[in-house]
Amino acid sequence: MRYRILVLFLIMTLPSGFLKVKGQGVVFAEIITPDIALCESGTVNIQIKFNEELEQPFNAGIEIRGNNDVLIEGSPLFIEEYYPSENDNNYTVTKSKPIHLPIDSYPGNNTLRIVITNGKDGNGILYGAEDMAGETIITLYRTPSSPFSAGSDIETCGLSATLNASAGAESNTYSWTDIAGGSFSDNSVTDPVFTAVTDGDYLLGFTQTNGVCSVTDQVSVKLNGQPSAAISTGSTICGTGDAEIDVTLQGYAPWQGQYSYNGQTASFTASSSTHTISHNLNGETDFQLISVSDVNNCETTYSYEPGTFVTVPDKQPLADAGSDKAVCGNETLLAALAPSAGTGSWSGDGSFASPNNPTSTYISSPYTGSAVKTLTWTVVNDKCSASDQVNISFFEPLDPDLISAGRDTALYNKNNYILNASPLSFGEGEWSVLEGGGTLSRHREHNSPVEGLKYGSNLLRWTVTNGICAPVSKDLVIRVTGVKHYTGISPNNDNLNDIFIIEGAEQIENNKLSVFDRSGKLVYQTASYQNNWGGIDLNGKALPDGNYYFRFQGDGVDIKDFLIIKRSKP
């Protein structure tokens, strides 16, 4: 027997609202009715609050708009000649509005929006939708309709039955209720499996809910009986996959059966003596037949009897290509894990001495500086396969003949210098001070400036590295000394002391050489002296032999001393 119950819900709440300032103008009126859900139809008490600062009486119109903002109904004079009073909550008026949408015109659920569209105050001033505030949302739900049904009454063998409800198109929210005792495989679907502990008659309730609407139907289930069964399989999987379990049944149809796998319990219904159960599995899985029942009110339970358990093997192999590593050169020995089942093979850019050997020698393809090679180790077992990758970072060995720290040099009255190591085509370089002193502002650049060199010998080292390859270091000596000069020249073109030498003069910034005779008269002068004066005067004529004085000036240098010019040979 069936029973059908129709339940309609009407939910209405009316919290107070308040007027807001809209833009730079004043809001004429605000709709403050709370949002409401109705089952198909109902009456809504629409509350509108008018601006207390405007002149009464008030007139206001509303619109009801549906899905996609379609106009459902308009009431240009919904509120007419309203005079506020203390009895109506001070400028707030409430008026009832019936809501109903014909199903043939507006099928399914609808969302309605009520807004104020126009108004007029006591001074005859007209207001438009832009002068209004607030809106009320009405969700209108439809009662689940035909083919809603809990299904036909059931009489079956065994202790379980598959229910067969039909749902209306208005929602997909269902709920089964066991009125007489038992359980559902999923009480939120139309066709769950109902299982009882003992045989007998069971009255089940099926409810479909759509928002605030719901409807309930009932179905009677009668359970009987006992069978026998065995299971087997020819399926294998690769980690995951579909498998089929074959069930052979004896007795009278139809059968209801239960079995377990992966800690879960499931059931099946069979109408012939052979039945197939399909599952998507993850890893090796054991199946155990639990029970089976038939039309004769007979039930058989099992506990690992022969033919009642089976294993679906997992033939997915394990692939381990080993750990990433760095190599100096272009050759290395790989270190994959040997497969416990199946065969493995290497692939990737370069060459393998033995592609199927997990510890094969690998030679990289040509590269410059450094390169990362991604190699793949693939293991195949039956129809299953697995792959893993390893990254080999190769670094080109450094050639000491191509690396230089620059030429040793001497500085005069100067403690800074621009280093000049050989530029790098690959790798990284770094300067360090081993002896003496000096501060490097860009110690990783081959032409780094160095300052603060100490007088005497300064030993600097340029070290080049490339990955894990052996570093190469080259040293540079910078000697810092004061300016040194001589006190005589013999400009007689014998290539001996023909010019006046001041060692380091070329490195003294803003230098100037001045030569005076014994009376203090300036006889020669030049700026940026380059050690090229051979005893001539300001006019380029040879000065006579004799005693002279000179002064050499520049940044940080001021030397005064005598000078002898002697051209005659002894």
389 and 499 housed in the same domain: no
Q: How do beta strands 484-485 and 546-554 pair?
A: unpaired
Q: What is the pLDDT of residues 117-143, one digit of tens each?
A: 999 999 999 999 999 999 999 999 988
Residue 480's contacts (CB-CB under 8 Å, 6 or more residues apart) are: 410, 411, 412, 414, 415, 453, 454, 455, 456, 458
414 and 493 housed in the same domain: no
308 and 329 housed in the same domain: no
pLDDT at 11 over 50: no
95 and 167 housed in the same domain: no
CATH code of residue 64? 2.60.40.1930
416 and 360 housed in the same domain: no
pLDDT at 446 over 90: yes
pLDDT at 21 over 60: no
pLDDT at 39 over 70: yes
Would you say residue 515 lies in a domain? yes
Strand residues in 4-52 grouped as ranges (E): 5-8, 10-11, 21-22, 25-26, 29-31, 36-39, 41-50
The pLDDT score that the predictor gives to residue 483 is 79
Band (pLDDT 50/70/90 cuts) for residue 225 is: low
pLDDT at 2 over 60: no
Among the residue ranges 10-14, 67-71, 424-428, the one predicted with the least confidence is 10-14
**Which tops the pLDDT comparison, 6 or 341?**
341
Q: Considering its fold, how many domains does the chain have in total? A: 6
| Sheet (strand 240-250) strand order | 228-232, 240-250, 274-282
Token output for 25: 């103008």
The pLDDT score that the predictor gives to residue 252 is 79
pLDDT at 352 over 90: yes
47 and 77 housed in the same domain: yes
Task: For residue 245, count other CB atoms closer than 10 A to its CB.
Answer: 22
Would you say residue 413 lies in a domain? yes
pLDDT at 410 over 50: yes
Would you say residue 148 lies in a domain? no
The pLDDT score that the predictor gives to residue 147 is 92
The mean pLDDT value for 91-105 works out to 89
Domain that holds residue 76: 5-141
Band (pLDDT 50/70/90 cuts) for residue 223 is: confident
Would you say residue 547 lies in a domain? yes
The pLDDT score that the predictor gives to residue 7 is 28
19 and 129 housed in the same domain: yes
Please state, for a pLDDT cut of 90, what percent of the chain lies above it: 66
Band (pLDDT 50/70/90 cuts) for residue 24 is: very low
The mean pLDDT value for 494-507 works out to 86
Would you say residue 337 lies in a domain? yes
pLDDT at 171 over 80: yes
The mean pLDDT value for 29-43 works out to 93
The pLDDT score that the predictor gives to residue 14 is 30
493 and 508 housed in the same domain: yes
CB 162 within 8 A of CB 269: yes
The pLDDT score that the predictor gives to residue 180 is 64
Residue 507: what residue type? Answer: Q
In terms of Cα–Cα distance, which of 274, 219, 199 is closest to 244? 274
Q: What is the pLDDT of residues 278-333, one digit of tens each?
A: 999 999 999 999 998 887 777 889 998 999 999 999 999 999 999 999 999 999 99
CATH code of residue 216? 2.60.40.10
**Which tops the pLDDT comparison, 141 or 486?**
141
126 and 36 housed in the same domain: yes
**Which tops the pLDDT comparison, 128 or 19?**
128
CB 259 within 8 A of CB 192: no
Cα distances (Å, whole numbers) of residue 282 to 55, 240, 241, 313, 518 = 76, 4, 7, 10, 110
The mean pLDDT value for 430-455 works out to 91
Average pLDDT of the chain? Answer: 88
Would you say residue 56 lies in a domain? yes
Among the residue ranges 19-23, 425-429, 520-524, 527-531, the one predicted with the least confidence is 19-23
54 and 75 housed in the same domain: yes
The pLDDT score that the predictor gives to residue 135 is 95
135 and 160 housed in the same domain: no
pLDDT at 86 over 80: no
**Last residue within a domain, chosen from 395, 427, 443:** 395
Would you say residue 504 lies in a domain? yes
The pLDDT score that the predictor gives to residue 557 is 82
The mean pLDDT value for 442-469 works out to 92
The pLDDT score that the predictor gives to residue 145 is 86
The pLDDT score that the predictor gives to residue 251 is 77
40 and 119 housed in the same domain: yes
Give me the half-sphere count of Cα atoms (radius 13 Å) on the Cβ side of residue 380. Answer: 5
Would you say residue 317 lies in a domain? no
Strand residues in 466-554 grouped as ranges (E): 472-481, 484-485, 488-489, 502-503, 512-516, 522-527, 546-554
Please state, for a pLDDT cut of 70, what percent of the chain lies above it: 94
Tell me the pTM: 0.47
The mean pLDDT value for 223-232 works out to 83
Band (pLDDT 50/70/90 cuts) for residue 17 is: very low
Band (pLDDT 50/70/90 cuts) for residue 569 is: low
**Last residue within a domain, chosen from 141, 171, 190:** 141
**Last residue within a domain, chosen from 481, 497, 519:** 481
